[in-house]
Amino acid sequence: DVKVTQSSRYLVKRTGEKVFLECVQDMDHENMFWYRQDPGLGLRLIYFSYDVKMKEKGDIPEGYSVSREKKERFSLILESASTNQTSMYLCASSPPGPGADTQYFGPGTRLTVL
Amino acid sequence: GESVGLHLPTLSVQEGDNSIINCAYSNSASDYFIWYKQESGKGPQFIIDIRSNMDKRQGQRVTVLLNKTVKHLSLQIAATQPGDSAVYFCAEMSYNFNKFYFGSGTKLNVKP
């Protein structure tokens, strides 16, 4: 089975703090994704990566950056957390190739910014 | 931009009944569709998928129907069980644009 893990299930940070969300997958997938999930809005794509050291902006990249130093690990960084970044953050991975099919999700990190 | 939406935000069914969850999509060029199940406190879990060259696909107790004419997708769950209680949402993707777009979800409540 594909396993996608996220470093924290719940996180509370203060405004202005730098926040790191880590995601690790064990299926040697090339593609990895970061989404945020907010009530009534569905999943929105923040950033994605098709390969090590490669990243592309999703639909809402503002206020976020990412790092993909190793194939299995994709990190989401909030340089200076703000209250409007309070959300559920979901990491996903998928097999190689553009247009690759099913995305496998991690359990999510619920981030609260005070 | 594309939009993927659901007709009913909440659906309550009796245990043992069949459930139907609907999804409307706006991009006629979408090639691939997935239904996900998300239980409380967990990440989305793949249920079933369908490509645009098909109109029906069956899994274990689940069936996905695709009507490209009206851009409508549905998920049918047979003999609904309490363990089926969750939020279900659809996702669409166009291979040309290489990104998924997700609906906001329908909450399914199964009454014992």
Beta partners for residue A80, in sequence order: none
Chain B neighbors of A42, CB-CB under 8 A: 4, 89, 101-105
| Ramachandran angles phi, psi of B82, nearest 5° | -55, -35
Other beta carbons within 10 Å of B58: 12
Q: Which of the residues A49, A103, A104, A109 would you substitute to probe the B interface, choosing the one with the greatest number of B C-beta atoms within 10 Å?
A: A103
Average pLDDT over chain B reads 87
Q: Of B34, B3, B47, whose CA–CA distance to A44 is shortest?
A: B3
Q: Do A105 and B44 touch (CB under 8 A)?
A: yes
The mean per-residue pLDDT over the stretch B13-41 comes to 91
Chain A neighbors of B99, CB-CB under 8 A: 45, 48, 58-59
Residue A41 at interface with chain B, using a CB cutoff of 8 Å: yes
Regarding the domain delimited by A4-97+105-113, which CATH topology (the fold level of the hierarchy) does it fall under? Answer: Immunoglobulin-like (2.60.40)
Domain boundaries of chain B, sorted by first residue: 4-94
pLDDT surpassing 60 at residue B1: no
Domain boundaries of chain A, sorted by first residue: 4-97+105-113
| Ramachandran angles phi, psi of B83, nearest 5° | -70, -10
Q: Which residue in A35, A42, A107 is closest to B103 by CB distance?
A: A42
Chain B neighbors of A59, CB-CB under 8 A: 99
DSSP structure string for chain A? ---EEES-SEEEE-TT--EEEEEEESS--SEEEEEEEETTTEEEEEEEESSTT--EE-S--TT-EEEEEETTEEEEEESS--GGG-EEEEEEEE-SSTT----EE---EEEEE-
The mean per-residue pLDDT over the stretch A26-54 comes to 90
Q: Of B49, B48, B55, whose CA–CA distance to B71 is shortest?
A: B55
The mean per-residue pLDDT over the stretch B6-20 comes to 84
pLDDT tens, position by position, B58-105: 999 999 999 999 999 999 999 999 999 999 999 988 766 667 888 888
Residue A103 at interface with chain B, using a CB cutoff of 8 Å: yes
Q: What is the pLDDT of residue A95?
A: 81
Q: What is the pLDDT of residue B50?
A: 93
Q: Which residue in B49, B89, B99 is closest to A101 by CB distance?
A: B49
pLDDT tens, position by position, A46-92: 999 988 999 999 989 999 999 999 999 999 999 999 999 999 999 99
| Residue A1 CB partners (closer than 8 Å, separation 6+) | none
CATH number of this structure's domain B4-94: 2.60.40.10
